[in-house]
Structure 1
Protein backbone atom coordinates (compact mmCIF):
# COMPACT_ATOMS: atom_id res chain seq x y z
CA UNK A 1 0.00 0.00 0.00
CA UNK A 2 1.44 3.37 -1.06
CA UNK A 3 0.83 6.12 1.47
CA UNK A 4 0.27 9.63 0.11
CA UNK A 5 0.05 12.65 2.37
CA UNK A 6 -2.55 15.36 1.80
CA UNK A 7 -0.88 18.37 3.39
CA UNK A 8 -4.06 19.62 5.04
CA UNK A 9 -6.03 19.23 8.26
CA UNK A 10 -9.29 19.98 6.47
CA UNK A 11 -11.38 16.83 6.94
CA UNK A 12 -13.67 17.75 4.03
CA UNK A 13 -10.72 18.07 1.62
CA UNK A 14 -9.37 14.73 2.86
CA UNK A 15 -12.70 12.97 2.30
CA UNK A 16 -12.98 14.58 -1.15
CA UNK A 17 -9.59 13.24 -2.27
CA UNK A 18 -10.34 9.81 -0.75
CA UNK A 19 -13.71 9.69 -2.59
CA UNK A 20 -12.15 10.66 -5.94
CA UNK A 21 -9.32 8.13 -5.58
CA UNK A 22 -11.89 5.42 -4.73
CA UNK A 23 -14.26 6.44 -7.55
CA UNK A 24 -11.43 6.16 -10.08
CA UNK A 25 -10.62 2.66 -8.83
CA UNK A 26 -7.07 3.55 -7.77
CA UNK A 27 -6.27 0.66 -5.48
CA UNK A 28 -3.09 0.45 -3.46
CA UNK A 29 -3.19 4.09 -2.33
CA UNK A 30 -3.91 5.24 1.21
CA UNK A 31 -4.46 8.97 1.64
CA UNK A 32 -3.32 10.43 4.97
CA UNK A 33 -3.75 13.94 6.39
CA UNK A 34 -1.44 16.08 8.52
CA UNK A 35 -3.26 14.71 11.57
CA UNK A 36 -1.86 11.24 10.73
CA UNK A 37 1.85 12.22 10.75
CA UNK A 38 4.14 13.83 13.36
CA UNK A 39 3.80 17.62 13.42
CA UNK A 40 6.38 19.69 11.54
CA UNK A 41 6.81 23.45 11.06
CA UNK A 42 4.44 24.69 8.35
CA UNK A 43 5.56 27.81 6.50
CA UNK A 44 2.94 30.56 6.07
CA UNK A 45 1.26 30.93 2.69
CA UNK A 46 3.02 34.00 1.31
CA UNK A 47 3.13 33.34 -2.46
CA UNK A 48 1.19 35.76 -4.69
CA UNK A 49 -0.51 32.93 -6.57
CA UNK A 50 -2.20 29.57 -5.95
CA UNK A 51 0.63 27.68 -7.71
CA UNK A 52 3.33 29.04 -5.40
CA UNK A 53 1.39 28.29 -2.23
CA UNK A 54 0.42 24.74 -3.27
CA UNK A 55 3.98 23.87 -4.29
CA UNK A 56 5.49 25.29 -1.09
CA UNK A 57 3.08 23.29 1.09
CA UNK A 58 3.71 20.06 -0.82
CA UNK A 59 7.51 20.54 -0.73
CA UNK A 60 7.46 21.20 3.03
CA UNK A 61 5.35 18.10 3.69
CA UNK A 62 7.43 15.83 1.46
CA UNK A 63 10.70 17.04 3.02
CA UNK A 64 9.39 16.62 6.58
CA UNK A 65 7.74 13.21 6.18
CA UNK A 66 9.48 11.51 3.25
CA UNK A 67 6.04 10.74 1.79
CA UNK A 68 4.73 11.72 -1.64
CA UNK A 69 2.75 14.83 -0.72
CA UNK A 70 -0.25 16.54 -2.26
CA UNK A 71 -1.23 20.11 -1.37
CA UNK A 72 -3.82 22.43 -2.77
CA UNK A 73 -4.38 26.14 -2.66
CA UNK A 74 -7.81 27.22 -3.68
CA UNK A 75 -10.16 30.13 -3.53
CA UNK A 76 -12.66 32.19 -5.41
CA UNK A 77 -11.84 34.68 -8.13
CA UNK A 78 -14.55 37.31 -8.67
CA UNK A 79 -14.57 39.33 -11.89
CA UNK A 80 -15.97 42.52 -10.37
CA UNK A 81 -13.24 42.41 -7.68
CA UNK A 82 -10.44 42.10 -10.26
CA UNK A 83 -9.93 38.41 -9.47
CA UNK A 84 -9.92 38.83 -5.71
CA UNK A 85 -10.24 37.41 -3.04
CA UNK A 86 -8.00 34.88 -4.86
CA UNK A 87 -5.21 33.60 -2.61
CA UNK A 88 -6.74 35.66 0.23
CA UNK A 89 -10.10 33.84 0.05
CA UNK A 90 -9.83 32.11 3.44
CA UNK A 91 -8.88 35.34 5.22
CA UNK A 92 -10.65 37.98 3.12
CA UNK A 93 -12.34 39.46 6.20
CA UNK A 94 -8.98 39.76 7.98
CA UNK A 95 -9.38 36.60 10.07
CA UNK A 96 -8.48 33.14 8.76
CA UNK A 97 -11.29 30.66 8.19
CA UNK A 98 -14.30 32.79 9.19
CA UNK A 99 -16.57 31.68 6.33
CA UNK A 100 -19.55 33.74 7.43
CA UNK A 101 -17.57 36.99 7.74
CA UNK A 102 -15.84 36.35 4.40
CA UNK A 103 -19.21 35.87 2.66
CA UNK A 104 -20.67 38.96 4.34
CA UNK A 105 -17.74 41.06 3.11
CA UNK A 106 -18.02 39.79 -0.48
CA UNK A 107 -21.78 40.34 -0.54
CA UNK A 108 -21.25 43.87 0.76
CA UNK A 109 -18.59 44.60 -1.84
CA UNK A 110 -20.85 43.32 -4.64
CA UNK A 111 -23.99 45.04 -3.35
CA UNK A 112 -24.32 47.47 -6.29
CA UNK A 113 -22.93 45.13 -8.96
CA UNK A 114 -25.63 44.15 -11.51
CA UNK A 115 -26.40 40.48 -12.10
CA UNK A 116 -24.68 40.36 -15.50
CA UNK A 117 -21.37 41.41 -13.93
CA UNK A 118 -21.39 38.97 -10.98
CA UNK A 119 -19.28 36.29 -12.71
CA UNK A 120 -16.44 34.45 -11.08
CA UNK A 121 -14.84 31.06 -10.65
CA UNK A 122 -13.61 28.74 -7.96
CA UNK A 123 -9.95 27.95 -8.62
CA UNK A 124 -7.91 25.04 -7.25
CA UNK A 125 -4.24 24.41 -7.88
CA UNK A 126 -2.94 21.04 -6.66
CA UNK A 127 0.74 20.15 -6.38
CA UNK A 128 2.27 16.69 -5.99
CA UNK A 129 5.84 16.44 -4.75
CA UNK A 130 7.57 13.05 -4.65
CA UNK A 131 10.69 13.06 -2.43
CA UNK A 132 13.70 12.85 -4.72
CA UNK A 133 11.40 12.68 -7.73
CA UNK A 134 8.79 14.55 -9.72
CA UNK A 135 6.91 17.75 -9.00
CA UNK A 136 3.56 18.11 -10.74
CA UNK A 137 1.24 21.13 -10.62
CA UNK A 138 -2.32 21.06 -12.04
CA UNK A 139 -5.12 23.65 -12.08
CA UNK A 140 -8.90 23.30 -12.08
CA UNK A 141 -11.48 26.07 -12.50
CA UNK A 142 -15.25 26.02 -11.94
CA UNK A 143 -17.02 29.05 -13.48
CA UNK A 144 -20.25 30.51 -12.20
CA UNK A 145 -21.89 33.58 -10.70
CA UNK A 146 -22.11 35.09 -7.23
CA UNK A 147 -25.60 35.05 -5.71
CA UNK A 148 -26.98 37.96 -3.70
CA UNK A 149 -28.02 35.73 -0.77
CA UNK A 150 -26.87 32.46 0.78
CA UNK A 151 -28.58 29.21 -0.12
CA UNK A 152 -27.78 25.65 0.96
CA UNK A 153 -25.96 24.07 3.89
CA UNK A 154 -23.48 21.67 2.26
CA UNK A 155 -19.84 22.36 1.53
CA UNK A 156 -17.82 25.18 3.07
CA UNK A 157 -16.26 28.53 2.26
CA UNK A 158 -18.13 30.48 -0.43
CA UNK A 159 -20.31 27.52 -1.53
CA UNK A 160 -23.59 29.11 -0.29
CA UNK A 161 -23.24 32.10 -2.66
CA UNK A 162 -21.64 30.39 -5.68
CA UNK A 163 -23.99 29.27 -8.46
CA UNK A 164 -22.14 27.07 -10.97
CA UNK A 165 -22.54 27.81 -14.66
CA UNK A 166 -25.45 25.84 -16.13
CA UNK A 167 -27.16 25.22 -12.77
CA UNK A 168 -29.91 27.02 -10.83
CA UNK A 169 -28.65 25.94 -7.39
CA UNK A 170 -25.57 26.92 -5.38
CA UNK A 171 -22.71 24.52 -4.83
CA UNK A 172 -23.89 24.35 -1.19
CA UNK A 173 -27.15 22.79 -2.44
CA UNK A 174 -25.36 19.98 -4.30
CA UNK A 175 -24.55 16.53 -2.93
CA UNK A 176 -20.91 15.71 -2.22
CA UNK A 177 -20.88 13.37 -5.24
CA UNK A 178 -22.31 16.04 -7.57
CA UNK A 179 -19.77 18.55 -6.34
CA UNK A 180 -16.86 16.07 -6.73
CA UNK A 181 -17.76 15.56 -10.40
CA UNK A 182 -17.98 19.29 -11.16
CA UNK A 183 -15.86 21.26 -8.71
CA UNK A 184 -12.57 23.04 -9.23
CA UNK A 185 -10.80 20.75 -6.77
CA UNK A 186 -12.42 17.68 -8.34
CA UNK A 187 -11.21 18.81 -11.77
CA UNK A 188 -7.68 19.44 -10.52
CA UNK A 189 -7.51 16.16 -8.58
CA UNK A 190 -8.64 14.17 -11.61
CA UNK A 191 -5.81 15.76 -13.63
CA UNK A 192 -3.47 14.51 -10.90
CA UNK A 193 -4.82 10.94 -10.80
CA UNK A 194 -2.56 9.56 -13.61
CA UNK A 195 0.46 10.76 -11.62
CA UNK A 196 -0.89 9.20 -8.41
CA UNK A 197 -1.56 5.99 -10.31
CA UNK A 198 2.15 5.71 -11.16
CA UNK A 199 2.91 5.68 -7.42
CA UNK A 200 0.41 2.93 -6.58
Structure 2
Protein backbone atom coordinates (compact mmCIF):
# COMPACT_ATOMS: atom_id res chain seq x y z
CA UNK A 1 0.00 0.00 0.00
CA UNK A 2 1.31 3.43 -0.93
CA UNK A 3 2.04 5.83 1.85
CA UNK A 4 1.13 9.44 1.25
CA UNK A 5 2.04 12.23 3.63
CA UNK A 6 -0.20 15.27 3.69
CA UNK A 7 1.90 18.31 4.59
CA UNK A 8 -0.27 19.74 7.34
CA UNK A 9 -0.58 19.72 11.09
CA UNK A 10 -4.17 20.98 10.95
CA UNK A 11 -6.43 18.29 12.43
CA UNK A 12 -9.61 19.84 10.97
CA UNK A 13 -8.05 19.67 7.53
CA UNK A 14 -6.85 16.07 8.02
CA UNK A 15 -10.38 14.97 8.93
CA UNK A 16 -11.72 16.40 5.65
CA UNK A 17 -8.81 14.97 3.65
CA UNK A 18 -9.27 11.45 5.04
CA UNK A 19 -13.00 11.50 4.27
CA UNK A 20 -12.39 12.55 0.67
CA UNK A 21 -9.47 10.18 -0.01
CA UNK A 22 -10.90 7.18 1.87
CA UNK A 23 -11.47 5.05 -1.25
CA UNK A 24 -7.89 5.55 -2.48
CA UNK A 25 -5.82 2.47 -1.66
CA UNK A 26 -3.30 4.48 0.37
CA UNK A 27 -2.28 5.20 3.90
CA UNK A 28 -2.65 8.98 4.38
CA UNK A 29 -0.60 10.41 7.23
CA UNK A 30 -0.24 13.91 8.63
CA UNK A 31 3.31 15.24 9.14
CA UNK A 32 2.94 14.60 12.87
CA UNK A 33 1.89 10.97 12.30
CA UNK A 34 4.85 10.52 9.93
CA UNK A 35 7.17 11.95 12.62
CA UNK A 36 8.16 14.93 10.51
CA UNK A 37 8.72 18.34 12.01
CA UNK A 38 9.56 21.10 9.59
CA UNK A 39 9.07 24.81 9.46
CA UNK A 40 8.58 25.60 5.80
CA UNK A 41 8.80 29.18 4.61
CA UNK A 42 5.90 29.71 2.23
CA UNK A 43 7.15 32.71 0.31
CA UNK A 44 5.26 32.12 -2.94
CA UNK A 45 2.87 34.76 -4.26
CA UNK A 46 0.23 32.30 -5.51
CA UNK A 47 -1.58 29.32 -3.99
CA UNK A 48 0.15 27.09 -6.58
CA UNK A 49 3.66 28.27 -5.62
CA UNK A 50 3.07 27.78 -1.90
CA UNK A 51 1.52 24.32 -2.31
CA UNK A 52 4.49 23.19 -4.45
CA UNK A 53 7.04 24.64 -1.97
CA UNK A 54 5.44 22.60 0.86
CA UNK A 55 5.02 19.37 -1.12
CA UNK A 56 8.61 19.41 -2.42
CA UNK A 57 10.13 20.23 0.97
CA UNK A 58 8.36 17.36 2.77
CA UNK A 59 8.94 14.93 -0.12
CA UNK A 60 12.70 15.68 0.08
CA UNK A 61 12.66 15.14 3.86
CA UNK A 62 10.62 11.94 3.79
CA UNK A 63 11.22 10.27 0.43
CA UNK A 64 7.45 9.68 0.25
CA UNK A 65 4.72 10.86 -2.10
CA UNK A 66 3.57 14.13 -0.54
CA UNK A 67 0.38 16.13 -0.96
CA UNK A 68 0.23 19.72 0.22
CA UNK A 69 -2.47 22.29 -0.07
CA UNK A 70 -2.48 26.02 0.01
CA UNK A 71 -5.86 27.56 0.38
CA UNK A 72 -7.40 30.80 1.38
CA UNK A 73 -10.29 33.18 1.29
CA UNK A 74 -10.55 35.94 -1.32
CA UNK A 75 -12.91 38.77 -0.39
CA UNK A 76 -13.65 40.97 -3.42
CA UNK A 77 -14.48 44.08 -1.36
CA UNK A 78 -11.07 43.76 0.33
CA UNK A 79 -9.18 43.56 -2.97
CA UNK A 80 -9.09 39.73 -2.73
CA UNK A 81 -7.48 39.81 0.74
CA UNK A 82 -6.58 37.82 2.81
CA UNK A 83 -5.82 35.53 -0.19
CA UNK A 84 -2.51 33.65 0.05
CA UNK A 85 -1.97 35.24 3.48
CA UNK A 86 -5.20 33.76 4.93
CA UNK A 87 -3.48 31.69 7.63
CA UNK A 88 -1.11 34.54 8.57
CA UNK A 89 -3.69 37.33 8.20
CA UNK A 90 -3.43 39.76 11.16
CA UNK A 91 -0.66 37.54 12.59
CA UNK A 92 -0.31 33.76 12.70
CA UNK A 93 -1.36 33.46 16.35
CA UNK A 94 -4.46 35.63 15.97
CA UNK A 95 -7.62 33.60 16.57
CA UNK A 96 -10.08 33.10 13.72
CA UNK A 97 -12.75 34.74 15.87
CA UNK A 98 -10.72 37.96 15.72
CA UNK A 99 -9.96 37.57 12.00
CA UNK A 100 -13.60 36.79 11.17
CA UNK A 101 -14.89 39.73 13.21
CA UNK A 102 -12.39 42.04 11.48
CA UNK A 103 -13.64 40.96 8.02
CA UNK A 104 -17.29 41.39 9.11
CA UNK A 105 -16.41 44.87 10.36
CA UNK A 106 -14.73 45.78 7.03
CA UNK A 107 -17.86 44.80 5.09
CA UNK A 108 -20.39 46.28 7.50
CA UNK A 109 -23.35 47.84 5.69
CA UNK A 110 -22.42 46.47 2.26
CA UNK A 111 -25.27 44.83 0.30
CA UNK A 112 -24.94 41.11 -0.49
CA UNK A 113 -23.85 41.62 -4.11
CA UNK A 114 -20.81 43.59 -2.86
CA UNK A 115 -19.90 40.86 -0.33
CA UNK A 116 -18.84 38.24 -2.91
CA UNK A 117 -16.00 35.96 -1.88
CA UNK A 118 -14.53 32.58 -2.64
CA UNK A 119 -12.38 29.93 -1.08
CA UNK A 120 -9.55 28.74 -3.32
CA UNK A 121 -7.60 25.53 -2.74
CA UNK A 122 -4.63 24.25 -4.69
CA UNK A 123 -3.31 20.75 -3.98
CA UNK A 124 0.23 19.93 -5.08
CA UNK A 125 1.57 16.40 -5.34
CA UNK A 126 5.31 15.72 -5.30
CA UNK A 127 6.60 12.27 -6.24
CA UNK A 128 10.09 11.11 -5.17
CA UNK A 129 10.96 10.71 -8.89
CA UNK A 130 10.58 14.47 -9.36
CA UNK A 131 7.09 14.57 -10.89
CA UNK A 132 4.97 17.43 -9.58
CA UNK A 133 1.44 18.38 -10.48
CA UNK A 134 -1.35 20.50 -9.03
CA UNK A 135 -5.14 20.67 -9.00
CA UNK A 136 -7.32 23.65 -8.09
CA UNK A 137 -10.79 24.00 -6.61
CA UNK A 138 -12.92 27.12 -6.11
CA UNK A 139 -15.95 27.55 -3.81
CA UNK A 140 -17.97 30.70 -4.56
CA UNK A 141 -20.13 32.44 -1.97
CA UNK A 142 -20.53 35.62 0.06
CA UNK A 143 -19.38 36.95 3.41
CA UNK A 144 -22.32 36.63 5.81
CA UNK A 145 -23.24 39.25 8.40
CA UNK A 146 -22.37 37.23 11.50
CA UNK A 147 -20.32 34.27 12.72
CA UNK A 148 -22.42 31.12 12.54
CA UNK A 149 -21.88 27.35 12.66
CA UNK A 150 -19.72 24.79 14.42
CA UNK A 151 -18.82 22.31 11.65
CA UNK A 152 -16.01 24.14 9.93
CA UNK A 153 -12.80 25.85 10.90
CA UNK A 154 -10.98 29.01 9.89
CA UNK A 155 -13.19 31.35 7.89
CA UNK A 156 -16.04 28.81 7.43
CA UNK A 157 -18.37 30.50 10.00
CA UNK A 158 -18.57 33.77 7.98
CA UNK A 159 -18.70 32.20 4.48
CA UNK A 160 -22.31 32.23 3.29
CA UNK A 161 -23.29 29.58 0.73
CA UNK A 162 -26.43 30.89 -1.03
CA UNK A 163 -27.59 27.60 -2.56
CA UNK A 164 -27.77 26.02 0.92
CA UNK A 165 -28.89 29.15 2.78
CA UNK A 166 -26.27 28.74 5.50
CA UNK A 167 -22.59 29.25 6.22
CA UNK A 168 -19.93 26.74 5.24
CA UNK A 169 -19.59 25.92 8.98
CA UNK A 170 -23.28 24.93 9.11
CA UNK A 171 -23.07 22.41 6.27
CA UNK A 172 -22.93 18.70 7.19
CA UNK A 173 -19.33 17.48 6.56
CA UNK A 174 -20.30 15.17 3.66
CA UNK A 175 -22.12 18.02 1.88
CA UNK A 176 -19.27 20.44 2.50
CA UNK A 177 -16.71 17.94 1.16
CA UNK A 178 -18.75 17.52 -2.02
CA UNK A 179 -18.99 21.26 -2.79
CA UNK A 180 -16.01 22.93 -1.10
CA UNK A 181 -12.82 24.23 -2.72
CA UNK A 182 -10.72 21.58 -0.97
CA UNK A 183 -13.25 18.88 -1.83
CA UNK A 184 -13.09 19.80 -5.53
CA UNK A 185 -9.28 20.08 -5.64
CA UNK A 186 -8.83 16.80 -3.70
CA UNK A 187 -11.43 15.04 -5.87
CA UNK A 188 -9.45 15.98 -9.00
CA UNK A 189 -6.21 14.98 -7.29
CA UNK A 190 -7.70 11.61 -6.29
CA UNK A 191 -8.56 10.88 -9.95
CA UNK A 192 -5.00 11.78 -11.02
CA UNK A 193 -3.49 9.61 -8.29
CA UNK A 194 -5.67 6.64 -9.30
CA UNK A 195 -4.09 6.84 -12.77
CA UNK A 196 -0.54 7.24 -11.45
CA UNK A 197 -0.28 4.84 -8.50
TM-score (norm 2): 0.94
1:180–1:186 contact (8 Å) kept in structure 2 = yes
Number of the residue aligned with 2:8: 8
The range that moved more, 112-121 or 3-12, is: 112-121
Q: Which runs of 5 or more residues in structure 1 are unaligned? A: none
> 1:54: which partner in 2?
51
Instruction: Look up the match of 2:134.
Output: 137
Matched, 1:186 2:183: yes
Residues 31 and 37 of structure 2 are in contact (CA less than 8 Å); yes or no, is this contact kept in structure 1? no
Residue matched to 1:128: 125
CA distance in structure 1 between the aligned counterparts of 2:8 and 2:178, rounded to whole angstroms: 21
Unaligned runs of 5+ in 2: none
- The TM-score normalised by the length of structure 1 is 0.93
* Aligned residue pairs, count: 197
Candidates 69, 72, 75, aligned match of 2:69: 72
In 2, Cα distance between equivalents of 1:96 and 1:110: 23
RMSD (Å), alpha carbons: 1.4
Residue in structure 2 matched with residue 112 of structure 1 by the alignment: 109
SS in 2 for 1:140: strand
1:185 partner SS: helix
Q: Secondary structure at the match of 1:122?
A: strand
Residue 93 of structure 1, CA deviation? 2.0
Task: Say yes or no: does 1:45 pair with 2:45.
Answer: no
Q: Deviations over 1:51-82 (max 9, x none)?
A: 11100000001000000000001110011111
Give the match for residue 148 of structure 1.
145
Q: Is the 8 A contact 1:80 1:113 kept in 2?
A: no
| 2:18 equivalent in structure 1 | 18
Which among 153, 170, 179 is matched to residue 173 of structure 1? 170
Q: Which one of 188, 193, 197 corresponds to residue 196 of structure 1?
A: 193
